[in-house]
């Protein structure tokens, strides 16, 4: 029986490259917008919010859509007999 690797080298390389892209994205824009020009990006409907009052996403999407399930657990994906 083939011994299964937890993560392959290829997977790790993809992972770290994606991480770098994220880091570049994080740096992007940090030095370009003057403070006095941040009025529009500071509006309440422009910021990303965890509050249900200001959030666009619905928890039901993750229950009905297998690809939207965030945690990956069996219950989260909604298919109890699925691996």
Partner 1 sequence: MMKKLAFQNPILRWPAKAILWALMMSRLLNATEEVEIHSFTLPIWDSNEIFTLSEQAAGIILLDFFAYWCIPCLPTSQDLEHNISKFYLSQYGNPQGLPVQVLSINVEAKQRQRTADFIKKSGASLVLDDPSGVILARLGGLALPYLVVLKGEAHETGTRWSAIYQHSGYEGTKAMRTLIDSIGKTGAIQTQAGVAQLEAVEEVIPSAEDEVELSKNETAAKQSISELEVPKEETQAAPKIIEVEPATKVLQPREPNSSRAFGLTKTTTYHLTVDSLTSSDVEIFNSTVQRERETETGHWDLVLNQGHIRVDYEPFSEADVIGVPNELNENNIAGQVSVTTNPSAYIEYVFSAGGYSGFTDHRSLWLDEYYRQQFYGIDGYIEADPWGYNASGGINWDTTTTLGVLSSTVILQQDDVAPGYDRPLFQPLERGRERLYTGSLLLEQESVFTKTSRMRNQLQFTRTTDRELRYRYSGNLNQALGENWVLRFEGAATYEAVEQEDESDFKSYSVGIVLEHDWNEKWFLGVTGRRYSDNGQIETSILVSSGPPPLETDHLGVTLRHQGDNHSWMFSLASYRTNFDEIDSPIRPFGNLYQDRDWVLATASYKYVF
2-32 exposure pattern, b = at least 16 Cβ within 10 A, e = fewer: eeeeeeeeeeeeeeeeeeeeeeeeeeeeeee
Residue 3 or 56 with smaller CB distance to partner 1: 56
Q: Does 81 bind partner 1 (CB under 8 A)?
A: yes
Shortest Cβ 1–partner 1 spacing (Å): 13
Of residues 30-49, those binding partner 1 (CB under 8 A): 30-49
Q: Does 1 bind partner 1 (CB under 8 A)?
A: no
């Amino acid at each position: 029986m083939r011994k299964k690797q937890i993560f392959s080298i290829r997977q790790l390389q993809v992972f770290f490259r994606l991480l770098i892209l994220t880091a570049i994205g994080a740096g992007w824009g940090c030095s370009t917008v003057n403070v006095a020009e941040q009025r529009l990006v500071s509006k309440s409907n422009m910021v990303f919010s965890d509050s249900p009052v200001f959030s666009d996403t619905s928890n039901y999407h993750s229950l009905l859509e297998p690809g939207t399930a965030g945690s990956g657990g069996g219950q989260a994906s909604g298919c109890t007999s699925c691996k």
